Amino acid sequence: MKILHVPCLEDNYAYIIVDESTGEAAAVDPVEPEKVLRSAAEIGADLKFVLTTHHHCHTKGHISYYVTGKAEEDPAVFTGDTLFIAGCGKFFEGTAEQMYQSLCVTLGSLPKPTRVYCGHEYTEKNLRFALTVEPENEKISQKLSWAQRQRQDGLPTIPSTIGEEFETNPFMRVDLPEIQNKVGCGSPVEALKEIRRLKDNWRG
């Protein structure tokens, strides 16, 4: 299984998933169809399917796609605007309870090596915010330094993995008592709601 990033618009990503044994491919969130078609042609992929994760009022009714390849390959999940690297989508239509279920229960139950492909290049900003929640978290600091180098070199910061998100994404760490204490909340859902409120008002 080969996965190609296709940068679109200002900071969006579409993806092309190629079955290398057949050359057949699927496009994920092809917001600029012509660009995706050109990219598929450049790599000789036979585009057969289009997968769309969401409409643009966000997360209620959002779909993530879990894709497996050969037995020795790590699986991949395409999360659109639900799970970002070190972040999550805004609660435009859904609730904190629904987002907790999506992030920490559904996506969180996937194998830790599962590669995470999200819809936007928000990683640097998300990691800077994550450090305001956990300034002592060395894994966040290290990943931020790496992400900055990637972007300086014109490279994507995606994919992450489910395991990395449990280490660096504050929205997926709300089951930890220390995270709940930091934001003054007594439950994972309350902590998730408060961290989302803090992020929405953060101007870093």
- Can you give the pLDDT at residue 59? 45
Domains, in order of start, for the chain: 81-109+122-201 (3.60.15.10)
Q: What is the pLDDT of residue 94?
A: 81
Spans in the chain with pLDDT lower than 50? 56-60
* pTM greater than 0.75: yes
Could you give the CA distance from residue 81 to residue 93 in angstroms, rounded to a whole number? 13
pLDDT confidence of residue 62: 59
pLDDT value at position 32?
96
Alpha-carbon distance 59 to 12, whole Å?
A: 16
| Dihedral sign, Cα of residue 183, residue 189, residue 195, residue 198 | negative
DSSP string covering 25-50: EEEES-SSHHHHHHHHHHTT-EEEEE
Question: pLDDT value at position 64?
Answer: 84
pLDDT score of 54: 67
